[in-house]
Amino acid sequence: MKQTPKAFIFDLDGVITDTAEFHYLAWKKLAEELGITIDRQFNEQLKGISRMDSLERILALNPSLKDMPQKEKEKLAYQKNDHYVELIKTIKPENVLPGIEELFTKLKENHIKIAIGSASKNAQRVLELLGLTHYIDYIVDAAKVTKGKPDPETFTTAADYLNIPYGECVGLEDAAAGIEAINQAGMFSVGIGDKVHLSAADYIVSDTTLLDLDEILKQFNLE
C-alpha cells in the first residue's frame, strides 16, 4: 500500500536560502582581524558545521593560536556572529531558493507538516527575514540540541515534537553531515547538490528547482 510521509524536515542554509556567502564574509572579516587569510575554497569545509567547530578550523590555520583559552574563543565566536547578524539584515523574501515556496505550498495542500532542522542559532531570524515562518510547524536550531549533525538529534527532535514516527519523515539536506544525520534517524533522505558529495542520500537532485513532491513521494515508496 502506498504511504505518504507526514513531515518534511528541511535544512536551512543551502536548502531554503544561501546564507553560506554571509557566513563566509563574516568569517573572513574575523580571520583578517586575527591575521589569517581564508578563501571560498576553504569556506566549503565550514558549510553545515557549528560556529565553534568552524572557529577551531580557522584557528588551526595558525599554530600559534592553537592554545587560545576557551573564553577567548567564545569572544571570537561572538564577534563573528556580530558580523554575520549585520550582513543578514539585507536578506529578503527574494532570497528564498527557487522551488522552495512552491514545495511548501504543495506540502500544506497535502497536509504534510513542515519543520526546519538547522545548525544555525540564527535560523528563526533568517526565516522571518525570508517571510516563511507562516508555513513552518516547528524550528529546531542549534539552541535546541546538544549534539550537532551528523548526530541525528536535530532531525529526531523535530519529529518527536510533531509526534511523527521517524520512518514517516523526509529530511532534506545539502551537506554530507546532514544526510548522515537523516539516515541515522531512520528517515528518508533527499540530497540537494552534487551526486559524489551526497552519495549516501536515498534520492538526490542537483538543485532546488528539481524538488518535485510527486517524484519525492514516488521515491519514498520505492524504499
Residue 183 interacting entry, from Mg ion, ligand B16, none, C-beta within 5 to 8 Å by type: none
| HEC assignment per residue over 72-119 | HHHHHHHHHHHHHHHHHHHCCHHHECCCHHHHHHHHHHCCCEEEEECC
| Residues belonging to the chain | 223
Considering the complex, what minimum distance in angstroms separates the CB of residue 204 from ligand B16?
A: 17
**Catalytic entry in 13, 141, 174, 202:** 13
| Pick 79 or 219: Cβ nearer ligand B16 | 79
In the complex, which residues of this chain contact ligand B16 (CB under 6 A)? 11-14, 23, 46-51, 54, 81, 118-122, 142
Residue 141: active-site member: no
Residue 118 interacting entry, from ligand B16, Mg ion, none, C-beta within 5 to 8 Å by type: ligand B16
Considering the complex, what minimum distance in angstroms separates the CB of residue 222 from Mg ion?
A: 25
Residues 44, 31, 180: CA angle, nearest 5 degrees:
30
In contact, 169 and 3? CB cutoff 8 Å? no
Residue 53: active-site member: no
CA distances to 103, 175, 189 from 193, rounded to whole Å, are 17, 8, 13
Rounded distance between C-alpha atoms, residue 200 and residue 212, angstroms: 20
Q: Dihedral sign for Cα 132, 133, 134, 136, please.
A: positive
Residue 189 interacting entry, from ligand B16, Mg ion, none, C-beta within 5 to 8 Å by type: none
| Pick 49 or 213: Cβ nearer ligand B16 | 49
| Pick 11 or 153: Cβ nearer Mg ion | 11
| Pick 11 or 202: Cβ nearer Mg ion | 11
Give the catalytic positions in this structure.
Answer: 11, 13
